[in-house]
Amino acid sequence: SGKKVGVLVMSYGTPQSMEDIEAYYTHIRRGNKPSPEQLHELTSRYEAIVGGVFPLRENTDNQVAGLQNALASEHDDVEFVCFQGLKHAYPFIEDGIEQMAQCGITEGVGIVLAPHYSTMSIGSYNKRAREKAAEYGISMTFVDSYHLHPKLIQALTERVERALGKFGEENRSSVRVLFSAHSLPEKILELGDPYPEQLLETSRAIADKAGIENWQFAWQSAGQTATPWLGPDILDVLRTLAKEDVKRVLVCPIGFVSDHLEVLYDLDIEAQQLAKEIGLHLERTDSLNTDQLYMQTLSDAVWKQYGELT
Ligand code: FEC
């Protein structure tokens, strides 16, 4: 095979152990330690989720391996070598770049395991990677988003179709589909951030492909800070729908690509509990995890972006 190209695969990151939650939370809060109450609250959310305490770690490991396989099977002319770089946990984004440098890599592509661009999400991952790569003289290019890739839309549409089946064929048209993503502070709007529009574009593409008219978009997992976050929040939307006599709701968290706290707790425990209280039948689409169509989406996006380097 030909030349070696590094691929920095970036993801949010999760604690390595119960003892590590405080350091993780402090990193998310840009160096501000959480109060004992806040730490206790987050710890109990991790304890409550099914599928292991920190499922995001294994899921990210598997996705990185899946992308490595997809790239290797699709390209003989270039040897792509994947490195992991996490935003808030070890191995940090900077560690991934350092490992690339240690392997003698001089060219790289960066991609985040989240499909939609925001300055506060993808933008900040890419900025950190770009700065570290510059220190090592690695020339890098970055994928900004892949929210309309046909294979991603197909994978998500298949999941929506499958989950709709859980309500019974006769009820399909009465199901309200809620596409959701992580909320961000409203101030992103002032900067013309593409995040909300990209999320609507993904939602529309899935709805069109599945022939769904009965859908809307909702935000989830907003932080508890003094500044306003993008709304409406999914819990408020569920309350409104129950008042409007909607009985069946399917949530499709398009902003997330694997099973982790924001899906397994915020949707499967918190939203599910509310739904039960207010008489809604709530289902959720399965996460992408290592779905082959998703792995191919990532591989295609990396290949296309690599073209920018050469
Ligand atoms: O399973 C896990 O261990 C981690 C799950 C997890 C994912 C995730 C994804 C996103 N976040 C985004 C933005 C913010 C902003 C703040 C913020 C705070 C938290 C906290 C936890 C947490 N996030 Fe997260 N996020 C995950 C977990 N996130 C835990 C801290 C406690 C809490 O607020 O619940 C607010 C920071 C601040 O205080 O200043 C902003 C965005 C994504 C989706 C894109 C991506 O994956 O990068 C955006 C997964």
Q: How far is CA 212 from CA 66, 183, 207, 208, 248, in A?
A: 31, 24, 5, 6, 14
Share of the chain above pLDDT 70, in %: 99
Q: How far is the CA of 29 from the centre of ligand 1 (A)?
A: 10
| 123 ligand 1 Cβ < 6 A | no
Q: What pTM was computed for the model?
A: 0.96
What is the average pLDDT across 6-25?
Answer: 97
223 CB less than 6 Å from ligand 1? yes
Measured in Å, residue 245 CA sits from the centre of ligand 1 at: 32
264 within 8 A of 70, measured Cβ to Cβ: no
d(CA 260, CA 107): 31
> How confident is the model over 177-233, as pLDDT tens digits?
999 999 999 999 998 999 999 999 999 999 999 999 999 999 999 998 889 999 999
| Complex confidence, ipTM | 0.95
Q: Which atom of ligand 1 is nearest the CA belonging to 112?
A: 47
Closest among 161, 166, 162, 164 to 176, alpha carbons compared: 164
Query: Which residues are 176's β-sheet partners?
Result: 249
Contact 249, 281 (CB under 8 A): yes
C-alpha 182 to ligand 1 mean position (Å): 8
* pLDDT tens track for 132-185: 999 999 999 999 999 999 999 999 999 999 999 999 999 999 999 999 999 999
- Specify the residue for token string 């989830």: 220
pLDDT of residue 5: 98
Tell me the average pLDDT of the chain.
Answer: 96
Q: Cα separation of 246 and 163, whole Å?
A: 17
Cα(307) to ligand 1 centroid in Å equals 32
pLDDT of residue 8: 99
| Range 89-121 burial, b when 16+ CB lie within 10 A, else e | beebbeebbbbbbeeebbbbbbbbbbbbbbbeb
- 2: confidence class by pLDDT, cuts 50, 70, 90: low
What CA–CA distance (Å, rounded) separates 153 from 158? 9
280-285 average pLDDT score? 98
Residue 36: C-alpha distances to residues 16, 21, 42, 47, 221 (Å): 19, 12, 10, 16, 21
Report how far residue 274's alpha carbon sits from residue 153's, in angstroms, rounded to the nearest whole number. Answer: 29
The pLDDT of residue 141: 98
Best mutation site among 182, 227, 288 for ligand 1, i.e. most ligand atoms within 8 A of its Cβ? 182
When pLDDT is averaged across residues 9-26 and rounded to a whole number, the result is 97
Known binding-site residues for Fe-coproporphyrin III equal 12, 29, 45-46, 125
Q: Binding site membership: which residues?
A: 12, 29, 45-46, 125, 182, 262
Find all residues with CB under 8 Å of 125, minimum gap 6, and list them. 10, 85, 87, 93, 110, 112
Ligand 1 centroid to Cα of residue 222, in Å, is 9
pLDDT per residue over 86-120, tens digit each? 999 999 999 999 999 999 999 999 999 999 999 99
pLDDT at 150: 98
